[in-house]
């Protein structure tokens, strides 16, 4: 037990939480934007995976991590719009669309990786770049907080800024108002002249872009290579984080941190003498428990509202 506390109450652990939260947070914000527009994006997992590969390949080709990041985000946007076309124009169920995207991405990335790197598992033969890490001036010298907050990959700071940007987008801009209106009541929005499909297209594009950032972080920050199915369910965990965050940017940030905590715990405990299977299970069990707790609260809230 003492070992456990030593692990948790260390600055290295605090640093690790932010590090592993980043991809979940990006994807959860992506889930948030599309969900507020009334479309569930379960293709986040596939988008992240495709973007992770795009980032690695393009950064290796151009020698620039930034162009790799750009490619990853563009791929994310394109897949988001591709989903929108099928879900909105051709009326494929959005859940099926997401499943199709995930299937295509998990096999398609292996296909492309094999063509480019002649390997079906990992991209280490490509000379891909990583995004730089940043030491925050002033903050890095504060005891305890400094080592936790400073020295992260620049994309980790982007993800924190993205929380703020998504908040501003949703609550302080005309587009955000439209997104929320379309999500709350598409018919009402339509009746006042808002093009529901256009707003949803934009929302899925933004959702794809955010997941694209998450994917780029995985292969160009978290680690420096692409490996098959490296997202490991983070896109799905992000959906759970968004649901528990009550569709709010700040709430989503906090629940993402919670899952980041579980993920970091699972990474740190691997050195202890606990069966690896149970340790690896932690993030998923935590998500499941989180969903239950969230759902019970929602239910009692609804019942209270009914009685009141």
Partner 1 sequence: MRKEGVFEIVRTLIVILLALLLAFLIVVGVSKEPVLALNKFFLGPVSSPRYFGNVIEAAIPLTFAGLAICVMFQAKQFNLGVTGSFFIGAVVAAAIAIKVPLPAGIHPLVAILVGGIVGGAANFIPAILKAKWNASELVSSLMLNYVMTFLGLYIINFVLRDVYAGAMVSLKFLPTATLPKIIPKTRIHLGLFIAIFMVAFTYFFLYRTKWGYALRTTGLNSSFAKYSGVNINSVIIYSQVIGGIISGIGGATELLGMYSRFEWQAAPAYGFDGVIVAILARNNPLYIPLASFFLAYLRIGADIMSRATDVPSEVIAVIQGIIILLIGAERFLAKWRHKIVVKSATESLEAKGGKQNESAI
Q: Pick from 106, 133, 197, 224: which binds partner 1 (CB under 8 A)? A: 106
Q: Pick from 6, 93, 141, 184: which binds partner 1 (CB under 8 A)? A: 93
Residues in the chain: 308
Residue 299 is a binding residue for partner 1 (CB under 8 A): yes
Cβ of residue 145: shortest distance to partner 1, in angstroms? Answer: 32
Residue 91 is a binding residue for partner 1 (CB under 8 A): yes
* Residue 18: half-sphere exposure toward Cβ, Cα within 13 Å: 20
Which region among 143-151, 201-209, 210-218, 280-288 touches partner 1 (by CB under 8 A)?
280-288
Which region among 49-57, 87-95, 202-210, 215-223 touches partner 1 (by CB under 8 A)?
87-95
Applying the rule CB under 8 A, the residues between 176 and 215 that interact with partner 1 are: none
Cβ of residue 65: shortest distance to partner 1, in angstroms? Answer: 27
Residue 86 is a binding residue for partner 1 (CB under 8 A): yes
- Longest C-alpha distance within the chain, in Å? 64
CB closer to partner 1, 94 vs 155:
94
Under a CB-based contact definition with an 8 Å cutoff, are residues 97 and 44 in contact? no
Residue 1 is a binding residue for partner 1 (CB under 8 A): no
Q: Pick from 26, 217, 222, 236: which binds partner 1 (CB under 8 A)? A: 236
Under a CB-based contact definition with an 8 Å cutoff, are residues 227 and 19 in contact? no
Distances, alpha carbon 88 to alpha carbons 78, 148, 195, in Å: 15, 43, 12
Which region among 4-12, 61-69, 90-98, 189-197 touches partner 1 (by CB under 8 A)?
90-98
CA–CA distance, 1 with 112 (Å, rounded to integer): 46
Distances, alpha carbon 220 to alpha carbons 3, 56, 117, in Å: 32, 7, 17
CB closer to partner 1, 216 vs 240:
240
Please, what is the Cα angle at 161 between 94 and 45, to 5 degrees? Answer: 30
Under a CB-based contact definition with an 8 Å cutoff, are residues 170 and 180 in contact? yes
Residue 295 is a binding residue for partner 1 (CB under 8 A): yes
Select from 226, 195, 30 the least CA-distant residue to 125.
Answer: 226
Q: Pick from 132, 288, 301, 303: which binds partner 1 (CB under 8 A)? A: 288
CA–CA distance, 43 with 243 (Å, rounded to integer): 16
CB closer to partner 1, 124 vs 280:
280
Applying the rule CB under 8 A, the residues between 6 and 65 that interact with partner 1 are: 40, 42
Query: Which residue is listed with tokens 């563009």?
Result: 74
CB closer to partner 1, 43 vs 68:
43
Residue 243 is a binding residue for partner 1 (CB under 8 A): yes
Instruction: Report CA dihedral (147, 149, 150, 156) to the nearest 10 degrees.
Output: 140
For the record, the structure tokens of 155 come out as: 């994309």
Query: Which residue is listed with tokens 């009685």?
Result: 307
Q: Pick from 29, 58, 101, 210: which binds partner 1 (CB under 8 A)? A: 101
Under a CB-based contact definition with an 8 Å cutoff, are residues 192 and 198 in contact? no
Residue 171 is a binding residue for partner 1 (CB under 8 A): no
List interacting residues with partner 1 (CB under 8 A): 40, 42, 86, 89-93, 95-97, 99-104, 106-108, 110-111, 114-115, 120, 233, 236-237, 239-240, 243, 275, 277-278, 280-281, 284-285, 287-288, 291-292, 294-296, 298-299
């Amino acid at each position: 037990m003492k070992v456990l506390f030593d692990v948790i109450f260390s600055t290295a652990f605090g640093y690790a939480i932010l590090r592993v939260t980043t991809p979940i947070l990006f994807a959860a914000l992506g889930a948030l934007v599309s969900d507020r527009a009334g479309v569930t994006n379960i293709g986040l997992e596939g988008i992240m995976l495709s973007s992770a590969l795009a980032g690695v390949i393009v950064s290796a080709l151009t020698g620039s991590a930034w162009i790799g990041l750009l490619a990853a985000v563009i791929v994310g946007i394109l897949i988001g719009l591709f989903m929108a076309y099928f879900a909105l124009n051709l009326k494929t169920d959005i859940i099926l669309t997401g499943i199709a995207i995930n299937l295509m991405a998990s096999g398609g990335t292996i296909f492309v990786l094999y063509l480019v790197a002649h390997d079906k598992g990992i991209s280490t033969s490509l000379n891909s770049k990583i995004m730089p890490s940043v030491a925050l001036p002033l903050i890095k010298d504060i005891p305890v907080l400094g080592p936790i907050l400073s020295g992260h990959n620049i994309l980790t700071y982007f993800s924190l800024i993205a929380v703020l940007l998504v908040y501003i987008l949703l609550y302080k801009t005309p587009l955000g108002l439209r997104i929320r209106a379309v999500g709350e009541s598409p018919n009402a929005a339509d009746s006042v002249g808002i093009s529901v499909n256009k707003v949803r297209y934009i929302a899925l594009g933004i959702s794809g872009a955010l997941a694209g950032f998450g994917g780029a972080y995985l292969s160009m920050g978290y680690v420096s290579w692409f490996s098959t199915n490296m997202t490991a369910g983070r896109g799905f965990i992000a959906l759970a984080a968004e649901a528990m965050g009550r569709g709010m940017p700040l709430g989503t940030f906090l629940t993402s941190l919670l899952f980041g905590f579980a993920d970091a715990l699972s990474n740190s405990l691997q050195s202890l003498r606990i069966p690896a299977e149970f340790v690896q299970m932690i993030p998923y069990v935590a998500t499941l428990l989180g969903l239950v707790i969230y759902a019970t609260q929602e239910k009692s809230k609804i019942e209270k509202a009914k009685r009141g």
